[in-house]
Amino acid sequence: MGYYLIALIVFLVDQGIKYLIATQLELYEQIPVIGDFFVITSSRNRGAAFGILQDQIWFFIVVTVVVVIGIIWYMKKVKSEGRKLLPTALALVLGGALGNFIDRLVMGEVVDFLQFTFGTYTFPIFNIADSCIVIGVGLIILDTILDGKREQQALSSQQSSGKEGNE
């Protein structure tokens, strides 16, 4: 249940902040946090990351339902294996996916508000759910790399033991 609690916390924090942004700020209103580098900007996105696939709400709803079902199934599988990092990563992705899913389902668009500018480049505006999805995917990649190294070490260890036994 701990991993579902992580997903729930991500979901609630994401939805709570989005509610505040949507109800307290006018669309495109900005609040500088760290000069021009970090600005809270009330924005809406009818597409996916970086605004791609605009107005494809049913596509996103179907894909998200499939992804959520897959994540829940996989979380149960890897949790029973005693792994920690992978289910945590999946919980972050799950919470983020559900946060953006509810926005699309209820409002037909996602509330975005985190804006960062690096010199003359302004990174596309995003939200907490997006951040958790990206962090979760990064941790999944890290877990995959670490798991591959563990398997390599185990294989090397087995081969070393086999050679010693043959001598």
Active site residues: 112, 130
Burial class (CB in 10 A: 0-12, 13-18, 19+), 18: buried
Pairs from 31-39 (Cβ < 8 Å, separation ≥ 24): 36/117, 37/116, 37/117, 37/118, 38/114, 38/115, 38/116, 39/115, 39/116, 39/117
Here the contacts of 76-84 (C-beta below 8 Å, separation 24 or greater) are 79/3, 83/143
